Structure 1
Amino acid sequence: MRIGLASYRVENKNTEFNISQIERAMKEAEGKADLLCFGEAVLQGFDSLGWNYKEDKEMAVSLNSETMGRLKKLTVQYGMGIAFGYIEKAGEFLYSSYVVIDAGEIVHNYRRISRGWKEYDRADDHYCEGCDIEEFSFRGKKIMTGLCGDLWDYPEKFKTKNLLLWPVYVNFDLDEWEQEILEYAEQASCIADDTLMINPIDNEPVNHGGAFYFHKGKLVERSPFEQERVLIIDIEK
């Protein structure tokens, strides 16, 4: 199986632009990847929320929304699955979630369990964390997913013998990253032998992006910082 890790630029509160970036990456990966993965909250941008619920709920997207329907159609058009982070609206509640879509259908929807995605001294009870952690199957491949701080706060909950997908939003500066990459690789090794980590690029604040493949605590492959790329990783069935 070939999995693409797309580190592309996103803009806060600009869902239309971010969808266009998802499609750009799909065009680049067409015929090269079975599943194309993006980082945390790329659909609306990680800093798209203002912690005013009446405004934020209009920014959030439900699984049965027209926006999600457009993305489902793209998976049919390009013949590949996509996985991306988004701010989810479920009833009256908002989550930082990660959805996997293939052949026009929702394969998996995961809600972040750690609270580091929100300014919890400002967020009210409408801003929630999930509680369910389970692997999903994509075209016969078992995959575990955890969002950003989940794998630092609750690593024992995500331990797996299968592939680990780790979407993040992390805005270290470039000097910090050289040390942090080693620490992320070591943390990943506590959870899985093989981990794919994806970080988006943005300008508010500056986030340098990057995609990484870790194997048993070692960095095997990576994409350059600040460059829109799809890193293709071959994963054995």
Structure 2
Amino acid sequence: MPMKQNRILIVDDDPAILRLLSLCVNRRGWEVYAAKNGPEALRIFERDRFNLLLSDVHLGAEMDGIEVAKMLLNIEPRLTVVMMSGMPSTADRVKAAGVGSFLAKPLSLGKVAGLLESHRAHHFHDARQRILIVEDDGVQLGEYSRGLQERGYRIAQAQSAEEAIDLVARGQFDAILSDNVLPGMTGLRAIPELRRRSQAPILLMTNYPSPDLERDALLLGAAAVLKKPLDLERLDLELSRSRVSWIN
């Protein structure tokens, strides 16, 4: 079974922590599956594959997180594993088991963001990510497309929000870069429609940034709002990190 890009399995027996982590990670463009114990995690993994496991070590009497990680790594050796615990001494157990890295609880959203950014930065270009650029200005569309292609990305283009929505409904993208001012539907109004069809991070571009626009875009599900004209080096960084402004 092939491994899916940007899919994470989160395992924690605390419902509040599980819900918070799932929300945080999902808002960063990851497809999230959640399990409250080891057996449930194994059942989920039987049906699908993930490229990142984030699991608490202490999951109850049936099996702990280290046991779960070992079993999943036997099935999928490419899986990246990060173990969590509120007991610092558990880090030695994780290290001795050789199953992955360790994060101490309580987790800050910044720690989780850093984990995801590090994973994306390490794996992003190897996977040749596919980016959808939505821009009605032909000159800027060509400039952004060429610049990102030179950096190893695969590019698809749309010149309206309606065209972008149609493309997203028919194909998979790893990120969506959209201007706000478009003929017909604006990029801002298109965000909910795009989010219904894709979990890819959405980066909204604008010549006229404002606190209100940024707030509305992030509430609708955008990952970031970028000021035009774009610097391609910064754009490359934003795409690889898929940074969510509301966490910072």
Return the index of the structure with the highest Cα Rg: 2
Structure with higher helix content: 2
Q: Same fold (TM over 0.5)?
A: no
| Higher relative contact order (CA closer than 8 Å, sequence separation 6+) | 1
Give TM-score scaled by structure 1 length.
Answer: 0.31
More strand by share: 1
TM-score by length of 2: 0.30
